Amino acid sequence: MKLSRVHLIIINLIVVVLFVGINRYRYISSAIITEGIVVGQKKYENKTFPEDSEYAPVIEFYNDEDRVIFTADRNLGYKNGEVHKIIYKKKNPRNAKIYSFNGFWLGPLIMSIVPFIIISALIFGFMSKGDRIIFSSKGFKRIKNKKISKSIDSKNLPDQNSR
């Protein structure tokens, strides 16, 4: 199987997205989903630029008749009194998350950009345009682009002294 660097980037993207998806699926499959209400806002003050202070919703929900209060991620834009789905592990309900795209999926997807960029940079750094990687049962081999990797014959170079 011959793969170009574009193919390797696409495979890299699929692997990273699958990793996040499987990780989130495993969390969901062993978690409890309930509803919680926003009871307040926690302010994270920016001392340098007070107008850039951030707010995080404080959410209350009940776990087996126990009242649990937790602070969600910052800048989700939820208002007091709003009801939202909450997802949490039974062993650690204070580590709950708002079960929405922004509250549950967005953070891990953003964090997965870092390994994607690093792996992509390595692929672009070590492979020239037109290079191919051949995978077989014996392993893999890199085939360089013939146009780029032709050796330069010193006899065909212009003489530096003739100028």
Strands 32-44 and 54-63: antiparallel
pLDDT band at 155 (very low <50, low <70, confident <90, very high): low
Domain boundaries, the chain: 1-29+112-150, 31-101
Per-residue pLDDT tens digits for 14-73: 999 999 999 999 999 999 999 999 999 999 988 888 888 898 999 999 988 799 999 998
Tokens representing 45 are 């003050």
32 forms beta bridges with 88
CA–CA separation, 98 and 83 (whole Å)? 10
DSSP 25-36: HHHHHTSEEEEE
The four Cα atoms 75, 78, 83, 89 give a dihedral, to 10 degrees, of: 0
Helices (H), 93-151: 106-111, 113-126
Report the pLDDT averaged over residues 129-147.
75
Per-residue pLDDT tens digits for 101-121: 888 888 888 899 999 999 989
CA–CA separation, 97 and 87 (whole Å)? 5
CB proximity list for 83: less than 8 A, separation 6 or greater? 35, 36, 37, 38
Buried b (16+ CB within 10 A) or exposed e, 101-118: eebbeeeeeeebeeeeee
